Structure 1
Amino acid sequence: MTPQKYLQTRAVAAHRTWSKTIPGKVEFFSGEGSDTSIPILIAPLRGVDDSYPPQKKSFMMLKYMHDHYLDKYEWFMRADDDVYIKGDRLESFLRSLNSSEPLFLGQTGLGTTEEMGKLALEPGENFCMGGPGVIMSREVLRRTAPHIGKCLQEMYTTHEDVEVGSQYDPKIVYSGKVPSDNHFAFSQKTGFWRNYGFSITCIYKGDLVRMGGFDVSIQGWGLEDVDLFNNVAQEGLKMFRSQEVGVVHVHHPVFCDPNLDPKQYKMCLGSKASTYGSTQQLAEMWLEKNNPGYSKSSNSNGSMRTA
């Protein structure tokens, strides 16, 4: 997956090197209107641009692979344009697996030594790092593709996969009795790891001034941080993401004005809903209210970690 601006460089370099070792098909997915005269396989995705993060592009790429190649290949890989893949070793590994099973593969991560115990990971848990790429079996793609349309209709946020701690509403988490004001109590119950937290950003003042700063014409909740991010990308500044366990997005009420721009209002509602509580806890609250015979499992609260 690549934006049009890298088709002549990164995509061509991949085509001339590692793509020749892949015993299948390597196709470069880019936004609609991309230059297809370049002598490589390019799939311009209809209705998709090169905005970042590429949520819609990712969804439509999966749909494209499902619609065109589901019955032709056993394994499907989504990778960034700056990876280097050793095709022979990858083939040897995948031939040892059963593509009829729902297998989703990636490079696991636990964080650095200094981060151990601070990433809300239980013993034995890890996370899948997106940078090196992920591989899915035919069965995973078959199960996923039918839901892509619904996913596209319900995209309430532009966040994806950077770990910035964000608190749930303490009044819901603790049933109205907040035992502590410690914002660094990390568990699946007290908060979630925010993805692409645009509003928590570090940038040199000179760079901010050169690209025009914030668009102060944007009124109400949201969009100003995403707009700034897009300006940074267009300016050509090098961006990087990092885990920062010393920064916590403290919970605060979110008010969504119905008079906002429809796109802005939809994003606001999504962010507001994501702060109420974990899916498990909200489901338990609903069951307790609507099913008198329901009782919580002994481990529903999860263990608490503090930093």
Structure 2
Amino acid sequence: MSYSKKQAYTRLIKTEAERLGFFSCGISKAEFLEEEAPRLENWLSQNMHGQMAYMANHFDKRLDPTILVDGAKSVVSLLLNYYPSEFQNSESYKISKYAYGTDYHFVIKDKLKALLHFISTEIGQVHGRAFVDSAPVLDKAWAAKSGLGWIGKNSNLLTKEVGSFYFIAELIIDLELDYDTPVTDHCGTCTACIDACPTQAIVEPYVVDGSKCISYFTIELKEELPTDYKEKFDDWMFGCDVCQDVCPWNKFSKSHAEPLFNPHPKLLNYQKEDWEEITSNVFAEIFEKSAVKRTKFSGLKRNIEFLKK
């Protein structure tokens, strides 16, 4: 394929991605992630994935998109902003901002399907798959490789423009495109995220022990919460945003423009006593299509009971 055609196809895809609401799109060559392999192996060998056994599965697929998608040539990485315009009552138990509205899997999957359909319609027989945090794909590594940001000391993807409050998704397709290049790291000497983590889960710059993270405890852990951490949850009942909230780059966060990410009014107005008295019916109402359903009513009740003084 000629270079000018690759450029034209790349421009076409990025323009459509923007029209669909993605604020950033970067593209990299589908190939083995050589730098990530030893990092992932080391992280798993130290059991930093805790009880998230699925993280140890499909090791090769996580590192090589050509195993996931036959004939894969390009990884199209996309960012979708979720930073809210309104926040929970400051006296409330807290949930991560990403879970305020409709579950991102549904919202992004629809946009990715639309983008894939557009590519096939405008360019021709292009085959591929859409991924939203639900398959063995190293989202942040691909986004960084595609020049969308750098992976910060809290292991989140950071951008100078809007910080880190966004979802990452990919299309892996069998079309050769014009590839982007990584950007430089702009964390500098800052250690705000490391210093602020309530459970010291950021064990060293760029390394997060997932088994110590509040998000892991409140979402992934299915058994009783460890009493050693009783005073360290900082009122988080689902997820945790501390390492993002303190990041200086998130001063530049801008409110999203996706109506589906807007929260239920009760989520914003509830105080601690309201959450402590929540019923399964109210849970179903507030979190009807929310990612919070992942922890189920029983999981949220467990977390709230743990937080009660």
TM superposition score normalised by structure 2? 0.27
Instruction: Return the structure number with greater relative CO, CA threshold 8 A, min gap 6.
Output: 2
Larger gyration radius, structure 1 or structure 2: 1
Report which of the two has the higher share of helix.
2
